[in-house]
Amino acid sequence: MVSYGLSEQGPYRAENQDAFRISPEGIGVLAVVCDGMGGAAGGRLASDMAAESFISFSSISLELSDGSEDADILRLAVTAANRKIYEFAYDSEEYAGMGTTLVGGVFRPDRALLVNVGDSRAYRIARDGITRLTRDHSLVQQMVDAGELTPEQARRHPRRNIITRAVGTEPFVTSDIFEVPAREGDVFLLCSDGLTGAVEDPELHRLTLAAPDAESACRALIDTALSRGTRDNATAVVIIYGKENADNGE
Ligand code: CA
């Protein structure tokens, strides 16, 4: 299994409020992407704290687990990140209200478990197609679910950036878990809306599979988003299931 991540500020934002982490080697592949929000330095700090906290909590717990508790561990890791940010911002005027999206995954040899809050996404990409694994917690997704918007209208809706759940803004957060089988040749993509707002799913599929490796895939995805004039930060983490499934990190 190989993995790579890339995050770009882009030309329109004063700072990069996206963050990502990929676990150190030796504990299976674990990865997370967060997209922060909040004034002052709040957004950047929130995404960084959430990503760091998520990885450190889950890596310790996963090391001690046989795999049967993956879903609980991911949920608890999100809860821990939520508490950390909420408590940090609670007493602060400067950081009040800061929060972040989170999409994270643990990638086992035969399956992947994903967790999400907000509108950062996970995809599975295979030869025969691309599947969106997570469900956005966003205003436009609610409107699509209610039949008020088509997915195409949602992409252009002026309030498409409004998320209905975030990590760190409330004392408690509910996350969603998704489990999918995985096999050799599968590619998983974790990304922020700076990518998906500019590059549609069929193109994510094409660009990822055309790249020779995980690093080139990330580069192609982010460069395409930036060349389209995305006015946001853009982040992609790519995990490729190879022959050497027992390995990771390289
Ligand atoms: Ca964003």
Cα-to-centroid distance, 160 and ligand 1 (Å): 11
Give the pLDDT mean for 26-43. 85
Query: Per mean pLDDT, which range of 169-173, 180-184, 246-250 is the poorest?
Result: 246-250
> What average pLDDT is seen over the chain?
93
pLDDT at 223 over 90: yes
pLDDT at 246 over 50: no
First to last CA, the chain: 7
Cα-to-centroid distance, 121 and ligand 1 (Å): 11
Cα-to-centroid distance, 66 and ligand 1 (Å): 35
Query: Per mean pLDDT, which range of 62-66, 207-211, 214-218 is the poorest?
Result: 62-66
Which of these, 133, 191, 143, 179, lies nearest to 164 by C-alpha position? 143
Cα-to-centroid distance, 18 and ligand 1 (Å): 7
Cross-strand bridge partners of residue 88 = none
Amino acid at site 179? E
Which residues have beta carbons under 5 A from ligand 1 (an ion)? Answer: 35, 192-194, 232
Gap between the Cα atoms of 33 and 54, Å rounded? 10
pLDDT at 249 over 60: no
Cα-to-centroid distance, 241 and ligand 1 (Å): 27
pLDDT of residue 245: 40
pLDDT tens-place string over residues 105-122: 999 989 999 999 999 999
Give the pLDDT mean for 77-104. 95
Cα-to-centroid distance, 209 and ligand 1 (Å): 24
Gap between the Cα atoms of 140 and 87, Å rounded? 29
Cα-to-centroid distance, 216 and ligand 1 (Å): 22
